[in-house]
Amino acid sequence: MKLCIIGTGYVGLVSGACFSDLGNDVICVDKDINKIKNLKKGVIPIYEPGLEELVKKNYKSGRLVFTSDLKEAVSKSNIIFICVGTPTKKNSYGADLNQIYSVAKEISSYIKSSKIIITKSTAPLTTGDKIEKIISKKVKKKLFSVVSNPEFLREGEAIRDFIYPDRVVIGTSNKRSNRILKSLYSPLISKGAKYFNTSRRGAELIKYASNAFLATKITFINEIANLCEKTDVNVEDISIGMGLDKRIGGRFLRAGPAYGGSCFPKDTRAIFDTAKKFKSDLSIIKSVIKSNENRSKLLLVRVSNILKNKIKNKKITFLGVTFKANTDDMRESSSLKMIPSLAKKGAIIKYYDPTGTKKEFQNLKNVFFSQNIKSACDDADLIIICTEWNDFKSLNFKSLSKKKNFIIFDMRNILSQERIKKDKIKYFGIGR
Ligand code: UDX
């Protein structure tokens, strides 16, 4: 099929590369001319394992094309995916939909034959109705249909999540569009993905409700971990014990720092904002947002307790600063709150991350990037594991540090406790 993908960020570029790899002709459009120039040279703007090879392979085959010419891309395609950003508005919980609406307005001038317009970006309940209204100002209703097809891609696993999704959710009551999209996704369905057709608003809400529920699961186990720390219980046993109940499931029950990233924080706020507009109270999600926002403060108190309230001039090392492993994304990472706060209290901070130095810390006094794990750890009083990179999981800390009595605060519970005990290292975990 002939697809046009508007927006070449995480969702657009991954979707475009994967759809072209499934044999479709894909035109990826972005108004950022430099981004398009780089993509043509095989320079990928995001850190996503496997994406560079996939883009290069399909660009070379001619199935994947990059352009800034939206008019040409729309005229050559019959299915148009809107994959532009829907960030949280400043000083609000609401999603900023300006990019989506301006794309809808622009493409309405280019629609001269039957098109299916699909929002893949995470767009709040009723966004499809508004897109339909914008386009129908210039285009007869029978010439287009607006469909919601939310993505469920995790950063760092996006290609796998696209090719092997649990489900493909298609929000439309238009029979023809449903039939065409079922055929577009048939290669994934034949590999076991479930295809679920619902109303457009139903698909929009499924996305938000899913992310809000996952964020609730994480916040739930994080609060249980707080209780475990006070009662000498290992939260990992609780996660396993709970997860063996198929109604609960073991995934997304790993206690850690606050959840971060571009999705959970944004989507929990957006669904709460939407519900408020419809005078419906989502009190559980509201408390999840508050609990997660407070978590970094709570972890800073733990750091203070570990250092017996003596932070000034203490040498603290952060291993990993991204919001999770296998991504270079810093959005809403716990390190963004913890490092500046500790530096302000006079600590001397070194950090190491496999994805390199971070602009977020470059102007902070007493915060330094280390080129490797050894130079990051060698003179630390406290080593904090903030991101669960594989690089940190089997380190021999005894050989890394020149100090005898350094302490480890493992905020991801990735180190083996028997190994730590054998090496007689002072260790603190989360909920264990
Ligand atoms: C999430 C959803 O998983 C994905 O379906 C959606 O499309 C986009 O948002 P992402 O934000 O990329 O994906 O990362 P995810 O792996 O879900 O992790 C989100 C946050 O939760 C991270 O900070 C991660 O460290 C944290 N997390 C995740 C936990 O603390 N514990 C867990 O068990 C799982």
Ligand 1 centroid – CA 381 distance (Å)? 30
User: Does residue 155's CB lie within 6 angstroms of at least one atom of ligand 1?
Assistant: yes
User: Does residue 252's CB lie within 6 angstroms of at least one atom of ligand 1?
Assistant: yes
User: Who contacts 43 (Cβ-Cβ below 8 Å, separation ≥6)?
Assistant: none
Q: Does residue 255 contact residue 226 with C-beta atoms inside 8 Å?
A: no
Ligand 1 centroid – CA 238 distance (Å)? 20
Q: Does residue 306 contact residue 314 with C-beta atoms inside 8 Å?
A: no
H/E stretch holding 195: strand 194-198
Ligand 1 centroid – CA 319 distance (Å)? 19
How far the first Cα of the chain sits from its last, in Å, is: 52
Which atom of ligand 1 lies closest to the CA of 324? Answer: 25
Amino acid identity, position 129: D
Ligand 1 centroid – CA 412 distance (Å)? 13
Q: DSSP letter at 277?
A: H
Among 423, 428, 431, smallest CA distance to 233 is for 431
Ligand 1 centroid – CA 294 distance (Å)? 18
User: Does residue 289's CB lie within 6 angstroms of at least one atom of ligand 1?
Assistant: no
Residue ranges of domains in the chain, CATH in brackets:
2-198 (3.40.50.720), 205-432 (3.40.50.720)
Q: Report the alpha-carbon distance of residue 396 to residue 269 in Å, rounded.
A: 41
Please spell the DSSP secondary structure of 132-175, one letter per residue. Answer: HHHHHTTS-GGGEEEEE----PPTTSHHHHHHS-SEEEEE---H
For a pocket test of ligand 1, which of 164, 224, 252, 271 has the largest count of ligand atoms closer than 8 A to its C-beta? 252
Q: DSSP letter at 392?
A: G
Please spell the DSSP secondary structure of 29-57, one letter per residue. Answer: E-S-HHHHHHHHTT--SS--TTHHHHHHH
Q: Write out the catalytic residue numbers.
A: 263
144 beta partners: 115
Q: Does residue 85 contact residue 103 with C-beta atoms inside 8 Å?
A: no
Dihedral sign, Cα of residue 123, residue 126, residue 132, residue 133:
negative
Which atom of ligand 1 lies closest to the CA of 257? Answer: 30
Ligand 1 centroid – CA 218 distance (Å)? 9
User: Does residue 265's CB lie within 6 angstroms of at least one atom of ligand 1?
Assistant: no
* Burial category of 224 from C-beta neighbours within 10 Å (exposed 0-12, middle 13-18, buried 19 and up): middle
User: Does residue 259's CB lie within 6 angstroms of at least one atom of ligand 1?
Assistant: yes
- Nearest protein CA to atom 14 of ligand 1, as residue: 154
User: Does residue 151's CB lie within 6 angstroms of at least one atom of ligand 1?
Assistant: yes
Q: Report the alpha-carbon distance of residue 400 to residue 95 in Å, rounded.
A: 45
Q: Per-residue pLDDT tens for 203-239?
A: 999 999 999 999 999 999 999 999 999 999 999 999 9
Please spell the DSSP secondary structure of 242-286, one letter per residue. Answer: HHTSTTT-STT----S---SSSHHHHHHHHHHHHHHTT---HHHH
| CA contacts within 13 A on the Cβ side of 318 | 31
Among 353, 337, 418, smallest CA distance to 389 is for 353
Q: Does residue 252 contact residue 214 with C-beta atoms inside 8 Å?
A: yes
User: Does residue 220's CB lie within 6 angstroms of at least one atom of ligand 1?
Assistant: no
User: Does residue 196's CB lie within 6 angstroms of at least one atom of ligand 1?
Assistant: no
Joined together, the tokens standing for residue 38 give: 């780089």
Among 48, 8, 44, 3, smallest CA distance to 21 is for 3
Please spell the DSSP secondary structure of 79-94, one letter per residue. Answer: EEEE----PBPTTSSS
Q: Which residues of the chain have pLDDT under 50?
A: none
User: Does residue 254's CB lie within 6 angstroms of at least one atom of ligand 1?
Assistant: yes
Which atom of ligand 1 lies closest to the CA of 262? Answer: 11
Among 61, 100, 73, smallest CA distance to 4 is for 73
Amino acid identity, position 104: A
**Which pLDDT value is given to residue 409?**
98
Q: Per-residue pLDDT tens for 131-149?
A: 999 999 999 999 999 999 9
Neighbours of 50 (CB within 10 A): 13
Angle (deg, nearest 10), helices 335-344 and 283-306: 40
**Which pLDDT value is given to residue 314?**
98
- Nearest protein CA to atom 28 of ligand 1, as residue: 252
Ligand 1 centroid – CA 221 distance (Å)? 14
Q: Degrees (nearest 5) of the Cα angle 180, 58, 41?
A: 130
